[in-house]
Amino acid sequence: MITAADMLREAAKVNELKNDEYGRGYERHGQVMEGLFPDGVTLMSETDFARFALFDLLVVKLVRYAANFSNGHDDSLLDISVYASLLREMDNEHTDNRGGAGAGPNDSGTLVPKGGLRGEHSGQGGGRG
């Protein structure tokens, strides 16, 4: 039987391997997202949250690719093409459903502040990657 302690040891090994391969990508990811959305981002609907999730996955893969830029990282590029295609599909459906050339926020939206959903921005990295 595999115990919780066995699982945690295995998880620690995976963490070490991934940190060796990608570095502390979760910290760089936070910096990139703050740079892209310095005023936060407005998410109003289930579709907006789904679109943002795909966008976030694109950023994760770009950060991983950047960590391996000298050698490239084919897996990340493949994932980027998949997530970009899914996001493009959702954007097209979103635009079609709203009847316009693009989706824009309205006053009933929910603002995700710079510090995220967990509290105020502290200026320190601290997310998961």
Instruction: Tell me the pTM.
Output: 0.67
Q: What is the pLDDT of residues 58-105, one digit of tens each?
A: 999 999 999 889 999 899 999 999 999 999 999 998 877 665 544 444
Q: What is the pLDDT of residues 26-68, one digit of tens each?
A: 889 999 999 999 999 999 999 999 999 999 999 999 999 998 8
- Over its C-alpha atoms, the chain yields an Rg (Å, rounded) of 18
**Six-digit token string for 102:** 């693009």
Q: What is the pLDDT of residues 103-119, one digit of tens each?
A: 444 444 555 555 555 44
How many helices, marked H, and strands, marked E, lie in the chain?
4, 2
Tell me the C-alpha distance between 32 and 63, whole Å: 8
Strand partners, 110: 43
**Count of beta carbons in the 10 Å neighbourhood of residue 94:** 18
